[in-house]
Amino acid sequence: MRTCYATLSTTLRLVRNINAALALAAIAIYNPVYAATTVIPSTSFSDYPTFETFWAYLYPWGSDHNGSARMVGNSTDHSHIAVASSTLSLIATPTSGAVPPTSTANPNPAIHYASGAIHAKSQITVTSANSYTLSGEFSSPTTFGTWPAFCTQRQAVNSWPPETDIGEWKGTANNWFNTFNTSSIVKSTLVTWPTDLSFHALKAVLTAESNNADVRIDFYMDNVLQTTQFGQGFVGKPLWLIINLQMEGSGGSPGPSGTTTYKVRNLQVTRSGS
């Protein structure tokens, strides 16, 4: 009789274990774990063919924006947009006699520089099913009159904002982490930035909130969390990823009389989720 009870007990435990295993398998089926997808690899600045696979020259909407630099560059002209030693260099130089003489974008400042901008061919769209991590190492000028940036924005996709600035330098020894919910509702966090042109890491992790409307943005410098901001209604909005060296404008005026260089390396974009 004891042997029968022992056998029955063992059988019941076996059944429970099998049921538990089946339950875990069902959870795995309905809640799959997805590996991160590399959208832009850290090698995208290794050479021009690789660069042109992932990036396009100038802004998504053209050569002009809200500063005094007009962006110049294409597959045969690398005087202002150059890649070498796995590093992107955007180079601004003073110019005169620009045609047209003022920017075609508001607030239509006079053009004083030729410079460089690029944008990713893949747009960033955060949904309830995926999140994005944008990271890279930056050597940014902080000289008065310079205005480089590393940002996502919706302008020329549908409308502006949304906008998120992972890197924005306005002619001072600070980097601005910004989130524009409207043109007047803006969250900004300033962190000290070295003036010696050394490279430092910036990262933003964009994740949908549980309301499936807003996006949580965690900003890091040198792998240390600096601030968390929230983009209202950012979920499902396609955003351009832009790297540019604008001049004057928010960076102050007059700008430098010589050459200004903004460098980026090890830039990577990954998407987690389905």
Taking only the tens of pLDDT, the chain with its 274 residues reads 444 444 445 544 544 554 554 444 443 444 455 679 999 999 999 999 999 999 999 999 999 999 999 999 999 999 999 999 999 999 999 999 999 999 999 999 999 999 999 999 999 999 999 999 999 999 999 999 999 999 999 865 457 789 999 999 999 999 999 999 988 899 999 999 999 999 999 999 999 999 999 999 999 999 999 999 999 999 999 999 999 999 999 999 999 999 999 999 999 999 999 7
CB contact burial 89-112 (16+ within 10 A = b; e otherwise) = bbbbbbeeebeeeebebeeebebb
Do 78 and 67 form a contact (C-beta atoms < 8 A)? no
Q: Examine the domain organization and report whether 130 and 11 are in the same domain.
A: no
CA distances from 149 to 75, 235, 251 (A): 22, 23, 11
The one catalytic residue in 52, 168, 209, 248 is: 168
Domain around 238: 36-273
What's the CA gap between 184 and 135, in Å, rounded?
A: 27
Region class of 129: left (phi > 0), else alpha (psi between -120 and 50), else beta:
alpha
Do 19 and 137 lie in a common domain? no
Beta bridge mates, 136? 202
pLDDT of 34 reads: 64
Same domain, 110 and 20: no
137 is catalytic: no
pTM over 0.85: yes
C-alpha to C-alpha distance for 117 and 138, rounded to whole angstroms? 15
In this structure, are 179 and 249 located in the same domain? yes
Which of 52, 137, 163, 209 is catalytic? The answer is: 163
CATH number of 261's domain: 2.60.120.200
168 is catalytic: yes
Q: How many domains does the chain have?
A: 2
